[in-house]
Structure 1
Amino acid sequence: MNIDSDYVNSNSTSMDSIDLPKVESVTISEDEWIELTITIQELVNDILEENIIRISNANVYKEITQAVIDVLFETLAHLFTEEDEIFEDIQELAEQMVEMEIERSDIPKRSLTMTLDNLEQQTEEVKIQLENTIEQLRNIPQPQQKTTEWYQFRYNLISASNLWKALGSEAQRNSLIYEKCKPLDIEKIEQSNGNVYGSMHWGVKYEPVTVQVYEDMYQTKIEEFGCIQHPKYNFIGASPDGINIEPNSNRFGRMLEIKNIVNREITGIPKTEYWIQTQIQMETCNLDLCDFVETKFNEYEENDFYEDKTHDYKGVILHFVERPEIESDILIYKPSFPKYIYKPLSIENKKKSIDTWVENIKNEQNEDNYALFSINYWYMEEFSCVLIERNRKWFENAVKHIEHTWDTILKERVDGYEHRAAKKRVPKINVFMDASSNSYVTNIQKKQTACLIRLDEEGNIYNKEDS
């Protein structure tokens, strides 16, 4: 079992395995050594216990180590100068001592890198408890998705994905309060959800693909549970990407949270906001473990897809759009969400098999008044899965801040919230002229764009090559 983030586990379990820097010029008495180790133990425990809320910080172990290094330098300053090579040895000593104290602590590690080899077998008692918890989650009544009641339900919650702002900077907290105080505008939300070109939509589009890969990779089954309201703190809501429901899997009862990365590096270290999100989800659903999965997908042309022999996971996504209604010979367009159909991994990636599958899906969707807009060929470039354990002590400290923020939201929905709005900075439009008297403009403000789709007489997407 390896610990990710900035902490690496080893077999060090006692002070006997901690060595002083191997520098002959350094001499320290046994009493001084004992006093030093006690000071460091107290320092680490203070950070972990009294400032437990900071454990959400992705760099928390580096911060602890640096604090210990500062103490070591201060204590041993009389033994060396800044030019001595001992500085590196002191840093190594600090890392060893922090490692030992974290191992001794009863606070869960921030996250861990797991393999199938070191998963513990679940007892029958644990499985029964998990089965009961999952069944309870299934039976929680919820409004139907995308209805007015559903939007209203979510409006009166702070979702796990946004809750980190309540624990962030003053500007982030202001942003959360402002967004939750604004009157609910369902039409605007639906228009935003219909945008298929942003990074957020990319994540939504590829979430089912990640589930397919995860299920295949770990031989398990994932089920969605919608938006769950916390049983005690009814202002907290969580929408986990899924829960493992395969009883024969060692991951049974484990939550799944997915992030499909577009343009940043996957480090295996959950960002602060993502770690907080998983903690809130586990608390809300009363589960103790969460697999945090990050993936990176790319798309390529059809020919490249069939020629590609290097990627283990690749597939096809069909993008459908709803046909307009016809009233009095007039086409009536209405906002609609993109509809995606995903090729099962069990269908082989050969052209004949895929063409047959595409044709069958087109016929099925045609009956529901949907037209095929595009065929997307994808491959998975990167996959990361780390385990995050439920940290009850962290939640006990964090929920007080969350509740205070919610009380502020309720108050300012009545008294006024406009003062929370961020100050808008309008970029200055600059006009330049080059030596040839050609002028060009920079910093032009972007406006919303619309995608126009041409349909043929039968209501299908118009293809010039077919005409």
Structure 2
Amino acid sequence: METDSDYICEETDSINSTTSSKSSTKIVETIIESIFDEWQEEDVDELTNNMYQLFETYHEENMILISSPTFYETMLEHVCQIQFQDLLAGNLCNQEDYDELYEFAKNTLEVYLDFAPYVRRSVVYSSTLNEQKNRQVEATAKKIKALQDIPQPKQKSKEWHEFRYNLISASNLWKALGSESQKNSLIYEKCCPLQTNQINYFNSTESPMHWGNKYEPLTVMIYEQMYQTTVGDFGCIMHQNYPFIGASPDGINIDPTNQLFGRMLEIKNIVNREITGIPKEEYWIQTQIQMETCDLEECDFVETRFLEYSDEAAFYADESREHLDKGVILCFIERTITANNQVAKSNDPVYVYMPLDVSLDKDTIAEWTRHQKEDKRETGLVLLNTIYWYLEEFSCVFIGRNRAWFEAAAPKIEAVWKTILEERVSGYEHRAPKKKSVRKINASIDDSTQSYMLENMPVTNSFCLIKLDEDGNVL
């Protein structure tokens, strides 16, 4: 499996001395003309074990920080600095040897993480499926059945909004663990009175949020096809022990015959940022809260980059892509007849996704489209436009549940919720975003020259072009 700086390992026993000796010898063999050339093997073993101990201490003392994408890099730098200063003090290396020691520490960290009793941050999928090694089908089935049986208020209803208002959802809980400014934003947001009658359910079809919602069902279809699985839809789940925490998973694998059974799914359909294979901090926290809330152990974090053809001709002209790589979405809107027999367009589009096993030839797609139009006409929907999409990029990263991290994070989350409850009563207005002061510009007229004088104009960065002759004189 190909891994990046963030990944998962299985829980194992502590590293023993035999393993340490073999691994340290292997590490030194990778460094040519090393500062360790004159060291005895036991000296290298001692350095390796010291680093293992420092890595373990850093883990224990800074577990809350593992949500950061740079956690391992920071830990590596921290340990390397400590060891480098010790070696300098003992005249065992010189200032110019730091890079070599850093490389040694980096290789040592890779070995350590294979044995350490800590869950790695994430693992990038390779060409092979990251399967569960110890599948507990019966226990997982009971958990999923319990989640499916949880009563759900009707989406967008008054009860639905009130339920979500009285908890912190996984998608924005990261703010409770962020900067003071981010905590302030979350507290203010949750303290503002809920006004369901003023909520607008529609967001612009050009917004990143709408783009993500539009392509989420398609991403699930592709994921199911790629891994031959079935993903179930779940509503908003409340944490059993912390009722102020909630999660709305994008899906859970519900096929008990599949190796992914019980694995959660979190989807991000990005618009313009880079897909690195390393989950951003707020997304990693979101997946941890989802696993913790649903009491499940694994999550696949999927990122996609969908693009759209300019028109139908471009779609059929592109023969480089096949199933899973391109397809069709039909966008329908409600057809409402006004008193003047005019058609009023609803702002809330309804998307229908062409199945991935439908042939991509023009006649087959036209026939499928015709059937969809007939079916939707009976429900008062008319076709607004046809979207021709293609999948430019797909990333699937495996994230394991980190119980130690949540144990460290829970008190901080609880403290923020306590503040929310208190300030809903005592007042929260002091947390409102500060409005920018509007500069008042005064205008006066000079009667003698009939010219205007503007005062208090904002100063902006500017420059003046001066034309000079060949002798440097101003023209």
TM-score range, shorter chain: 0.7 to 0.9
In structure 2, distance between residues paired with 1:187 and 1:325: 25
- Please give the secondary structure, in 2, of the residue aligned with 1:76: helix
Contact 1:221-1:246 at 8 Å conserved across structures: yes
In structure 2, distance between residues paired with 1:116 and 1:137: 31
In structure 2, distance between residues paired with 1:346 and 1:96: 46
Give the letter for the 1:270 counterpart: P
Query: Which of the numbers 328, 331, 334 marks the counterpart of 1:316?
Result: 328
- Please give the secondary structure, in 2, of the residue aligned with 1:324: strand
In structure 2, distance between residues paired with 1:121 and 1:70: 37
Match runs of 1:97-176 below 5 Å: 97-115=108-126, 117=128, 119-120=130-131, 126-176=136-186
Contact 2:268-2:304 at 8 Å conserved across structures: yes
What are the Cα deviations for residues 122-179 of structure 1, in whole angstroms up to 9, with x where unaligned? 66x7111111111111100110111111111111111000001101111111111111
Q: What's the offset of the Cα at 1:333?
A: 5.9
In structure 2, distance between residues paired with 1:321 and 1:157: 33
What are the Cα deviations for residues 22-59 of structure 1, in whole angstroms up to 9, with x where unaligned? 44666557786566445423321122112111111111
Moved more, 151-160 or 310-319: 310-319
Count of matched residue pairs: 424
In structure 1, distance between residues paired with 2:351 and 2:208: 16
Query: Residue 94 of structure 1 corresponds to which residue in structure 2?
Result: 105
What are the Cα deviations for residues 268-305 of structure 1, in whole angstroms up to 9, with x where unaligned? 10111111101110111111011111110000121111
| Distance change in 2, residues 1:117/1:195 (3 Å) | closer
Query: Which of the numbers 240, 248, 252 marks the counterpart of 1:243?
Result: 252
Query: Residue 388 of structure 1 corresponds to which residue in structure 2?
Result: 399
In structure 1, distance between residues paired with 2:219 and 2:392: 12
- Please give the secondary structure, in 1, of the residue aligned with 2:200: helix
Give the letter for the 1:197 counterpart: E
1:265 to 2:297 alignment: no
In structure 2, distance between residues paired with 1:226 and 1:50: 36
* Alignment RMSD (CA, Å): 2.8
Q: What's the offset of the Cα at 1:426?
A: 7.3
- Please give the secondary structure, in 1, of the residue aligned with 2:265: strand
Larger radius of gyration: 2
Query: Residue 461 of structure 1 corresponds to which residue in structure 2?
Result: none
Moved more, 181-190 or 141-150: 181-190
Give the letter for the 2:313 counterpart: N
What are the Cα deviations for residues 336-366 of structure 1, in whole angstroms up to 9, with x where unaligned? 5321111111211111111111122112222
Give the letter for the 2:163 counterpart: F
Query: Residue 452 of structure 1 corresponds to which residue in structure 2?
Result: none
Give the letter for the 2:379 counterpart: D
Query: Residue 458 of structure 1 corresponds to which residue in structure 2?
Result: none
Query: Residue 182 of structure 1 corresponds to which residue in structure 2?
Result: 192
- Please give the secondary structure, in 2, of the residue aligned with 1:323: strand
Gaps of 5+ in 1: 430-467
| Distance change in 2, residues 1:96/1:260 (3 Å) | same
* TM-score after normalising by structure 1: 0.84
- Please give the secondary structure, in 1, of the residue aligned with 2:213: helix
| Distance change in 2, residues 1:220/1:417 (3 Å) | same
Contact 1:318-1:341 at 8 Å conserved across structures: yes
Contact 2:20-2:48 at 8 Å conserved across structures: no
1:307 to 2:313 alignment: no
| Distance change in 2, residues 1:285/1:427 (3 Å) | farther
Contact 2:7-2:123 at 8 Å conserved across structures: no
Give the letter for the 1:411 counterpart: E
In structure 2, distance between residues paired with 1:183 and 1:339: 30
In structure 1, distance between residues paired with 2:167 and 2:253: 25
Contact 2:335-2:346 at 8 Å conserved across structures: no
Contact 2:327-2:389 at 8 Å conserved across structures: yes
Contact 1:3-1:109 at 8 Å conserved across structures: no
Gaps of 5+ in 2: 10-14, 441-475
Query: Residue 373 of structure 1 corresponds to which residue in structure 2?
Result: 384
* TM-score after normalising by structure 2: 0.82
Give the letter for the 1:343 counterpart: M
